Amino acid sequence: MDLLIGNRRYTGSKKALLEDIYTSISPYPKGRIVFADLFAGTGIVSAFMLGKGMSVIVNDFLQSNYIAYQAWFGCGDYSKKKLERIIAEFNSLNSSKLKENYFSKIYGNKYFSVSDAKKIGYIREKLEKIKLTKREKSILVTSLMYATDKIANTVGHFEHFLSKKPQDKGVLLKLPHIEPFIGNATIYKMDANKLAREITCDIAYIDPPYNARQYVNFYHVLENLVQWDKPTEFEGTSMKFKRNHLKSDYSKSKAPMVFKDLIDNLQAKLIVVSYNNTYSAKSSASNNKISESQLLDILSSKGKVTVSEIKHRSFNSGKTDFKDHKEILYICKTNL
């Protein structure tokens, strides 16, 4: 089976909410609609809207997400046969014959077994050396990133690794299934507030981080794997590289201010904002940074707002779970 865009664990992914998001915008006339996904994460919302024939502007400030958009939605050339051959070679590698490398020395025996980490590091290095088009490289790095995520010794993100010793799971790359979309995608890796000043769209979909948990802390291992700058300084036992420049203002106390700046500068006919109702979780880091009244006030200054609630399972089910979790869509028909 080929790899699909949704075959990835991602906190806050809207994979289960695609139809709800589409319903919220469907009174909107059909035709050549430009849909801007400013905090696109996995890119699954963009993929869905491309499938509905829209043109998409897709953006996230993490390189690991940007490279995946190049793979799934890019327009460069690639040879499927060549990719199949390379993937088959990678999948038949015998890890016991590989030497320790950058990736295995840092993450081996923590997030992965040493054997699996050696294979991941070897393949990533090889992707710098073999002759590939830009698109082929994006596709193979994305395939490796998905394979790495699948076998990680974590609860689903890389804030910490599990205390149990990682087992050999094998690194299995799959060929991404790339859809021939009708609409085209314009891909960015920018701060959403800067991008908002540069684009005009029909629908802007805003799905920022909701709380103090930084996405770069969740996905630092994948970000390091994709960037491949091989930093040598790490923080703490969880081996996070220095990443202050990748921390989001939406996870800080200034979140209401940056959200207002974003909305004020957006040129869109419809603005759809995803947020949830987590304001009294047991762990304060899980509580939302922008209050409901702030969201409503800021959006109301731009146009008429309606609110739609969707019941949704919280990502951190268990002791810290917030009962009666709801995902909320704030839909603002602007005066533009």
User: Coil, strand, or helix at residue 129?
Assistant: helix
d(CA 155, CA 316): 10
For residue 96, give Cα distances in angstroms to 6, 99, 112, 172, 305: 32, 8, 15, 16, 59
Q: Is 116 in the site for ligand SAM (CB under 6 A)?
A: no
Interface mask (CB under 6 A) for ligand SAM, residues 41-80, using x and -? xx-xx--------------xxx--x---------------
Q: Is 157 in the site for ligand SAM (CB under 6 A)?
A: no
Beta carbon nearer to ligand SAM, 40 or 305: 40
**Judged by CB under 6 A, which of 107, 241, 250, 315 binds ligand SAM?**
250
Which of these ranges, 39-47, 92-100, 166-174, 265-273, lies near ligand SAM under the rule CB under 6 A?
Answer: 39-47
Q: Give the pairing of strands 240-241 and 303-311.
A: unpaired
145: which 2 tokens? 């990133």
d(CA 316, CA 201): 34
Q: Which residues contact 174 (CB under 8 A, 6 or more apart)?
A: 1, 2, 3, 87, 143, 146, 147
Q: Is 107 in the site for ligand SAM (CB under 6 A)?
A: no
Q: Is 208 in the site for ligand SAM (CB under 6 A)?
A: yes
Q: Is 188 in the site for ligand SAM (CB under 6 A)?
A: no
Write down the least CB distance from residue 75 to ligand SAM, Å.
22
Which of these ranges, 33-41, 73-81, 280-288, 321-329, lies near ligand SAM under the rule CB under 6 A?
Answer: 33-41
Q: Is 12 in the site for ligand SAM (CB under 6 A)?
A: yes
Q: Is 223 in the site for ligand SAM (CB under 6 A)?
A: no
Beta carbon nearer to ligand SAM, 104 or 251: 251
Q: Hunting for tokens 């690639």 — which residue is that?
A: 78
Q: Is 298 in the site for ligand SAM (CB under 6 A)?
A: no
Write down the least CB distance from residue 324 to ligand SAM, Å.
20
Q: Which residues contact 316 (CB under 8 A, 6 or more apart)?
A: 286
For residue 12, give Cα distances in angstroms to 45, 208, 210, 251, 313: 12, 9, 9, 13, 11
CB 145 within 8 A of CB 222: yes
Please report, as ranges, the residues that interact with ligand SAM according to CB under 6 A. Answer: 10, 12-14, 39-42, 44-45, 60-62, 65, 191-192, 207-209, 215, 248, 250
